[in-house]
Structure 1
């Protein structure tokens, strides 16, 4: 039986500094495996909140 979640992989949470080729590699790998990806950007100088993951 097929499900809407077939092939779903949970998100990967990483904390990074300014974009560099390692980040680009992660983004490229995600897009090779999935049709879409989401990159969330927050601030390390602000407290954790729904706006700042």
Structure 2
């Protein structure tokens, strides 16, 4: 899911709270299938991949 090129902080917050939990679940599931990681590690890597580009 792509975030608009230059979202305002409010738009971003809205988008994140809207889709973050769903993406989180899907991402943790796929990460754990691929290699055995704890939910914490999966959450952390998800956070970094999603948030760093902004």
Fold in common (TM above 0.5)? no
TM-score range, shorter chain: 0.3 to 0.5
**Larger Rg belongs to:** 1
TM-score when normalising by structure 1:
0.37
Query: Which structure exhibits the higher relative contact order, with contacts defined as CA atoms closer than 8 Å and separated by 6 or more residues?
Result: 2
